[in-house]
Amino acid sequence: MGVTCVSQMPVAEGKSVQQTVELLTRKLEMLGAEKQGTFCVDCETYHTAASTLGSQGQTGKLMYVMHNSEYPLSCFALFENGPCLIADTNFDVLMVKLKGFFQSAKASKIETRGTRYQYCDFLVKVGTVTMGPSARGISVEVEYGPCVVASDCWNLLLEFLQSFLGSHTPGAPTVFGNRHDTVYGPADTMVQYMELFNKIRKQQQVPVAGIR
């Protein structure tokens, strides 16, 4: 895989999520991009079981268990502000056995599904982010295949992103700062999706007593 940028596309004014996705994919097709199947990335949140916390007011940790259709034999476990573990798909079974330590948060599953497009050396994925039955946002993933070092190709990625995202073109992902001159890997993409999903979750939360 190459260097990848994952971002959120805001819903166009007066349009629905689906209509905005269609506008975006139409732009890609006008550029000459060709459909290359579909994709899915999902994420389920687990929190530390209450029984494992001490009595000194400790706060539980969150762990995100994720899957990516690009890596069908792998499962990604990301800790909040921590490392990313790449395991095989049996990790899901292990999480059931670890329910005394980690418990699945209710209604926490979030996923993005959509179409893959190939344009020259770029692989573009435009997805609809859903929580339960509701569409919550739009994800855009762009991968530049020939390069594996972010600092060597960010300007090229940025130029391509601007060609169809315009004023909604994102800045460099935070993960690039950590791996500026090192080899980019699948875990870096999953960290970006985790950050995107958490951002969308927070956007859906209703403020309580004026406090977000």
Cα gap 138→127, rounded to integer Å: 6
Q: What is the CATH number of domain 3-50+61-203?
A: 2.40.320
SS3 label, residue 141: strand
Region 70-88 average pLDDT: 90
pLDDT (tens digit per residue) in 140-157: 999 999 999 998 999 999
Count of Cβ atoms closer than 10 Å to residue 80 Cβ? 13
pLDDT band (50, 70, 90) for residue 205: low
DSSP β-bridge partners for residue 123: 118, 143
- CA-based Rg of the chain, rounded to a whole angstrom? 18
The ranges assigned to domains in the chain are: 3-50+61-203
On the question of pLDDT at 90 being above 60, the answer is: yes
- Does pTM surpass 0.85? yes
**pLDDT, greater one: 83 or 17:** 17
What torsion do the CA atoms of 114, 191, 2, 69 make, to the nearest 10 degrees? -40
Range in 74-83, 131-140, 143-152, 201-210 the model is least confident about: 201-210
Tracing tokens 């921590």 back to the chain, one arrives at 82
Q: Nearest Cα to 145, choosing from 116, 173, 170, 180? A: 116
Cα gap 158→176, rounded to integer Å: 13
**Cβ atoms 68, 186 nearer than 8 A:** yes
On the question of pLDDT at 37 being above 90, the answer is: yes
Cα gap 138→8, rounded to integer Å: 6
